[in-house]
Amino acid sequence: AFERFIGKQYSPQVMRDEALKFIDKHKDKPFFLYFPTPIPHASLQAPAEWVDRYPREWDPVPYFGQNGYTPNLRPRATYAAMISYMDDSIGQMLDRVQALGLEDDTIVIFTSDNGTSFNGGVDREFFNSLPGLRGYKTQMWEGGIRVPMIVKFPGRVPAGTVSKQVGVTHDLFNTVLAATGGRTRRVDSVNLWPALTDASRVVARPHIYWEFPEGPGWQAVLLEGRYKGIRPNLRNRGLALELYDLQTDPMETTNIAVQRPDLVRKIEVLMRSERVPNPQFPLWVIDRPVPPPAN
């Protein structure tokens, strides 16, 4: 049955090859390349020769396609193979940039759109994908939204440094504008370039607000400095806010909402101000009129 899902073309290879052609074609002028590789997103699929690099003992039990994803005889090995294939593909692109003499003038940004998955045969415990963090993809706990970001720009971003800067993906808009000498725009994007060029700096940024009306609970979250307010149960019309101090409790084990009602009220007000109702996608539990909190 597993052989039915073996194809002749691997889309990550097609995308990589097209990316290499794009670099070659635009080597003589400034270019922007967005490479949204589909791996290691489920369904778990990789060329057999890449899967065979990993021990068969890793997979005593196949993944049979629960919840609609493609079945896989060796899910753990395939997941590792997909990550290795991605790493190799990015390496080929970096090598091409270097071979063309563009390395010193090229900004490379590597990041992700969410934390590890919980579905499709992905075994996050086996790979220790979330060392201690709570939650996963589709959830607003740190395990679902805290992702890596690597920036490479020789001579501008010091190699081997680590920044404590907190940001969100759309901050890259003004960050890249600043890095390339452009004029930043008055949009929902904070220029983080000073923090990337000097790891000792932290750019002051306003709170960050997300909503995710999908998954088991439907959630909304607001980061306000070291504090994080989360409404974890919007699906059942729950507006109760949980509060965590990410500086002392990054694993989000202790809800301090009762101890800090002042912060709860502040975050509730900010959540209402940040929410822009969408008539095409209403969230009644949030958009219904709510009286202001009492002093």
Give the chain's domains with CATH numbers: 2-154 (3.40.720.10), 168-205 (no CATH), 208-276 (3.30.1120.10)
In this prediction, residue 288 has a pLDDT band, given cuts at 50, 70 and 90, of: low
Comparison of pLDDT for 295 and 227, the residue scoring more: 227
Give yes or no for residue 75 having a pLDDT over 90.
yes
Query: 146-170: per-residue pLDDT in tens?
Result: 999 999 999 999 999 999 999 999 9
pLDDT reported for residue 5: 67
For residues 71-92, give the mean pLDDT: 97
For residues 255-281, give the mean pLDDT: 92
Most confident range (mean pLDDT) of 63-67, 159-163, 203-207 is: 159-163
Contacts 24+ apart (CB under 8 A), 189-193: 192/165, 192/167
- Do 290 and 272 form a contact (C-beta atoms < 8 A)? yes
Number of other CB atoms surrounding residue 101 within 10 Å:
9
pLDDT reported for residue 277: 85
For residues 251-264, give the mean pLDDT: 97
For residues 241-267, give the mean pLDDT: 97
pLDDT reported for residue 279: 82
pLDDT reported for residue 226: 94
pLDDT reported for residue 6: 74
45-74 as b/e: b if 16+ CB within 10 A = bbeeebbeebeeeebeeebebeeebebbbb
Burial class (CB in 10 A: 0-12, 13-18, 19+), 213: middle
The DSSP letter of residue 51 is H
Give yes or no for residue 178 having a pLDDT over 90.
yes
Give yes or no for residue 176 having a pLDDT over 90.
yes
pLDDT reported for residue 97: 98
Give yes or no for residue 268 having a pLDDT over 70.
yes
pLDDT reported for residue 67: 80
Whole-number Å distance between alpha carbons of 193 and 185: 14
Q: 114: which residues sit within 8 A by CB, 6+ positions away?
A: 137, 138, 144, 145, 147
Q: Which two tokens stand for residue 185?
A: 């725009």
Query: 107-121: per-residue pLDDT in tens?
Result: 999 999 999 988 899
Query: 179-200: per-residue pLDDT in tens?
Result: 999 999 999 999 999 999 999 9
For residue 227, the cross-strand partners are 224, 245
- Is residue 220 helix, strand or coil? strand
**Would you put residue 268 in left (φ > 0), alpha (ψ -120 to 50) or beta?**
alpha
Q: 17: which residues sit within 8 A by CB, 6+ positions away?
A: none
**Would you put residue 155 in left (φ > 0), alpha (ψ -120 to 50) or beta?**
left
End-to-end CA distance of the chain: 64
pLDDT reported for residue 107: 98
pLDDT reported for residue 234: 86
